[in-house]
Amino acid sequence: MSFSNLGLSEPLLKAVADQGYTTPTPIQKQAIPIILSGDDVLAGAQTGTGKTAGFTLPLLEKLSNLPKTKGKRVVKALILTPTRELATQVAESVETYGKHLSFTSTVIFGGVGINPQKATLRKGVDIVIATPGRLLDLLGQGAIDLSRVDTLILDEADRMLDMGFIHDIKKILARLPKNRQNLLFSATFSNDIKRLADGLLNSPKLIEVARRNTSAETIAQKVYPVDCKRKKELLVKLIKDEEWKQVLVFTRTKHGANRLTEYLMNSMINAAAIHGNKSQGARTKALANFKDGSVRVLVATDIAARGIDIDQLPHVVNFELPNVPEDYVHRIGRTGRAGNDGEAVSLVCVDEKMLLRAIEKLIKKDIPKETIDEFRPDPSIKPEPIQKKRGQRGGSGGGNRSHSRGQARSQNNKRKDSSNSSSHQNHRRSGQNHNK
């Protein structure tokens, strides 16, 4: 099957061809015709499967077929994402595939002032890509009107729930017209996602391109048992001995990311950190340098890393395992994208054995273990709780999803959206050049 069989118009087919794509991925084959038919969709797709194009292409097709109205443009489509980086990725996809069409779009997320965003909205836009907190700010100030939205898309809905955005989402839903198409995309399906889908979607079509809550088959996974205090040393050895040129490393905390980055730099490995405490400019620069190869290792927390989209990223390292098992699937999904092979390595200390067990239970398979003699763990070390103090060694080991989500929720009122506290506008008319 080719893209021409999916009901897309010539401008979109040309944009797809410009990107060098000829054959749609499984999620695109299934999702595009269903979305074009107007049905609500509940889609389970692993990250890296092409799901962004799977909803962007039919959305643009639908917009291009709407009757042209005179006067200022109104928001016809709203795409909600959990993080700034993912919002940027989606916005780039909207521009890339819509470059031969006439529309305007804007992306809203933290890191810059609100006034440019308001100015863009006053001019009128067709598509808004937003993170929840800033969108609520704009709604509260009367700066955006969502009463004419035809299509709502929740991308990576599971992550939004884990970050405590459920109440923000409900407030936004209350400002939308009842008669609309709803598309919910999630890499994992939890009971919370099912409840959200039941309240949001109207007789949805279910799309699953792989068994739910599984890791991609293109990713080779491996665990290295190691004492906590020797993880940094082992990471440096792996990077140097294996000659890894581009590595995305996950830590559990912002402070941990900073400390690890400093250690790597002192070990003559060019590295940068990306997390919620970094300014938007610093995050954008770090990601750009990582993509162009001037930074060899990008050290990231879970929130900041969502939306990092590099087709041929070869290596992902879990320097610390996540407390929430589903986050493991999201993390390693940064590699093995677009049909490419990838490698996901986890450095696991005695504190994290329960976390590893929870991950293996979720993905329904044992991850191969390989012990390096000089880093063989000391059997006399006893496990310590990870969640007693944030940013310190150890962990509850239980992978307690509700506890992790509760932490996010408890912080929600303090931060009003820590990743998305201010807005960044990116108002583009299709056909303009965009320097990626």
Distance CA 38, CA 60 (A): 13
What's the pLDDT score for residue 408? 41
Distance CA 217, CA 138 (A): 42
Distance CA 241, CA 230 (A): 16
Residue range 298-336, pLDDT digits in tens:
999 987 556 566 767 889 999 999 998 888 888 888 776
Is the domain defined by 219-400 classed in CATH 3.40.50.300?
yes
What's the pLDDT score for residue 68? 75
Distance CA 274, CA 146 (A): 32
Pick the range with the lowest mean pLDDT from 74-83, 112-121, 230-239: 112-121
Give CATH for domain 3-212.
3.40.50.300
The predicted model gives 47-68 an average pLDDT of: 88
What's the pLDDT score for residue 400? 36
**How many other CB atoms are found less than 10 A from the CB of residue 20?**
6
The predicted model gives 267-271 an average pLDDT of: 96
> What's the one-letter identity of residue 88?
T
Q: What percent of the chain has a predicted confidence (pLDDT) above 90?
A: 57
β-bridge partners, 154? 80, 184
Task: Report whether pLDDT(355) > 90.
Answer: yes
> Got the DSSP string for 238-251?
HHHHTT-SSEEEE-
Structure tokens at 224: 């290295």
> What's the one-letter identity of residue 428?
R
179 burial type by CB count under 10 A (0-12 exposed, 13-18 middle, 19+ buried): exposed
Task: Report whether pLDDT(47) > 70.
Answer: no
State the chain's mean pLDDT as an integer. 84
Task: Answer yes or no: are the C-beta atoms of 198 and 56 closer than 8 Å.
Answer: no
Nearest CA-CA partner of 359 in 367, 370, 351:
367
Give CATH 3.40.50.300 domain extents, the chain.
3-212, 219-400
Residue range 211-256, pLDDT digits in tens:
555 556 678 999 999 999 999 999 999 999 999 999 999 999 999 9
